[in-house]
Amino acid sequence: MGLRTNRVSIGALLFIVLPLLTQTSAKAPGELAWAIRYDPKTFDPAKVDDQSSELVRFLTGGVLLRVNRLTQQPEPDLAETYSLSPDGRVLTFHLRPGLRFSDGSDLTSRDAAWSIRRVLAPVTAAPAGEEFLTPKDVKVEAPDAHTVRVTLPKRVVAIARVFDEIAIEPADHPSEARVTSGPFILADYKRGQSIRLKRNPNYWRHDGANVQLPYLSGIRLDILSNREQEISGFQRGDYDLIDNLPAEYFTALSKRSPGAVRDLGASLNTEQMWFNESPTSPLPAYEKAWFTNRGFRVAISQAIHRADLARIAYDGHATPAYSFISPANTPWYDKTLNYPHEDVAAATRLLAASGFHLSGKTLYDAGNQPVKFSILTNAGNAARQKMATLIQQDLAALGIEITIVTLDFPALIERFMHTQDYQACLLGLSNVDPEPNSMMNLWLSSSPNHQWNPSEKSPATPWEAEIDRQMLIQATSLSAPDRKRAVDQVQQIVADQQPFIYLVHPNTLYAISPQLGGVQPAVLSPGVVWNVDMIRRQGTR
């Protein structure tokens, strides 16, 4: 079906810069400042499972290996060298000499081994631990003060990349970013207001002229969900960058400051909607029956006009999505994927075949319950709220009544991660790594991040069991073609079953102050500040 033009009123958004309603703190000399959407859930680097916490971990945590966001390859960080045994089961890291934590204490292999074991421990429930497949069976040793050896029970493909997510902390003393081995230290946190980081005086890296890094004296992260205030702050110079620049502001800002905006094209990220399929949720049985019905989910997907979502909600700076792998991830995207195409008539027929019927303008289930539900999304995200409104219009054509509910991010997380008190949710996922193995914590049925039905004791359906099997194949196979076939199979199962109804892949949009030097924007998160220790203000060293 072609694009519809009767939706312009929803997508048309005037670029209006409002004055800040709350006064931002003055930037200290040499400090970098920008805004994040919400408070970190945790400062414990082992327990990170949200973007704000992940950003703080990246800025403060020293790691054995760091993935270069431009080359997308792991490189030595705290480890001076590392090696992988021919069978892919033993990783050996040799630490740089003279490493120290920010408090001046020595950093040795004992600290590194303890930090890795903590991530692997079931009690920690670290998302990164799941990438080891069987974390309880991993052996971590420190044979001397500068060597760490990690032995896996079986080969895990691209396992070196996971060490980008394991911050090295003082053994037996988790410090929640106040004693670190990365470029910055947590200096101050005011909930709902700001996070301040200060330079680590004992950071190991130096530039080519032997000047100790980082160049910056510190970082200020303001917690600000209002994007108009953020844009205003950037234009006034209060903020040095905008990460994930809202598409509706991109065109206007490009006219005012053409040298400040960057569109790197399609990102690896996804925006998606899903239904609550948890059997332990407080939803009535008839709603659970809707959401676990494949025909219902596929019909919903068929009714959504994704091209409209990209055109209106993102002002054209997005690509319609049908898979968890973006077309930008060319080695892994399945170009032959068979997915439910936009077809309202087919959706109506499928609903009828699945036991639903239309009476007047309302859809009813077989028990004569009217089909209506709410979609949760986060407050302050204009694109998601516009997508929800567009989907509300699309589903009205099927006779389904939609209510849109916006919550602040912590309340939203509480609903779908803990209480399970929701019907449908519209959110995005940031894929920080193109390697499919990094998605294990999403697709394994046992994972708490298996969002439509978290932490299944055993796969709830045969197709989820098959996803588990194929993900394990891609994680352990020595054959690149076998891995590709396994990932393609997972993409096809997801397209057939629609546990996630993928909507768009947003483009990677940034605004960066021309006063900054050393910035190398990348598609992979954190795209602007991935080389933060090399960023400086122009004219300074």
Residues 6+ apart with CB under 8 A from 493: 463, 466, 467, 470
User: What is the chain's percent helix, strand, coil content, to nearest 5?
Assistant: 30, 20, 45
pLDDT score of 328: 87
96 plus 137 within the same structural domain: yes
Cβ atoms of 62 and 80 closer than 8 Å? no
Cα(first)–Cα(last) distance of the chain, in Å? 56
State the DSSP code for 376: E
482 plus 444 within the same structural domain: yes
Domain containing residue 278: CATH number: 3.10.105.10
80 plus 50 within the same structural domain: yes
pLDDT score of 410: 87
417 plus 283 within the same structural domain: yes
Cβ atoms of 196 and 174 closer than 8 Å? no
Q: Is the dihedral of CA 322, 441, 269, 483 positive or negative?
A: negative
Residue 20 lies in a domain: no
Distance CA 254, CA 316 (A): 15
Residue 14 lies in a domain: no
Strand locations in 408-463 (E): 424-429
Tally of domains in the chain? 2
459 plus 530 within the same structural domain: no
Indicate the residue type of 146.
Answer: H
373 plus 422 within the same structural domain: yes
Distance CA 245, CA 35 (A): 11
Token representation of residue 11: 């997508």
Cis peptide before 526 (omega within 30 of 0): yes
Cβ atoms of 38 and 158 closer than 8 Å? no
Distance CA 152, CA 138 (A): 5
Tens-digit pLDDT profile for residues 358-373: 999 999 999 999 999 9
54 plus 135 within the same structural domain: yes
Q: What does pTM read for this prediction?
A: 0.78
Cβ atoms of 536 and 518 closer than 8 Å? yes
Cβ atoms of 514 and 315 closer than 8 Å? no
Residue 250 lies in a domain: no
414-417 long-range CB contacts below 8 Å, 24 or more apart?
Answer: 415/376, 416/276, 416/376, 416/451, 417/448, 417/454
pLDDT score of 540: 55
Local structure of 439: helix, strand or coil: helix
Residue 253 lies in a domain: no
Distance CA 337, CA 491 (A): 7
Residue 246 lies in a domain: no
Residue 5 lies in a domain: no
Helical axes 247-256 vs 227-236, angle rounded to 10°: 20
Residue range(s) defining the domain that contains residue 406: 270-507
Residue 348 lies in a domain: yes
- The gap from C-alpha 39 to its chain's centroid, in whole angstroms, comes to 15
294 plus 233 within the same structural domain: no
Strand locations in 132-213 (E): 139-144, 147-151, 184-190, 194-199
Q: Which residue from 513, 507, 518, 519 is spatially nearest to 244, judged by alpha carbons? A: 507
Cβ atoms of 170 and 109 closer than 8 Å? no
313 plus 351 within the same structural domain: yes
Domain containing residue 200: CATH number: 3.40.190.10
Residue 264 lies in a domain: no
**Which residues of the chain are modeled with pLDDT < 50?**
1-22
207 plus 345 within the same structural domain: no
Helical axes 462-476 vs 480-497, angle rounded to 10°: 160
283 plus 351 within the same structural domain: yes
Q: How many CA atoms lie within 13 Å of 71's alpha carbon, on the beta-carbon side?
A: 8
Return the CA Rg of the chain: 24
Distance CA 456, CA 443 (A): 11
306 plus 429 within the same structural domain: yes
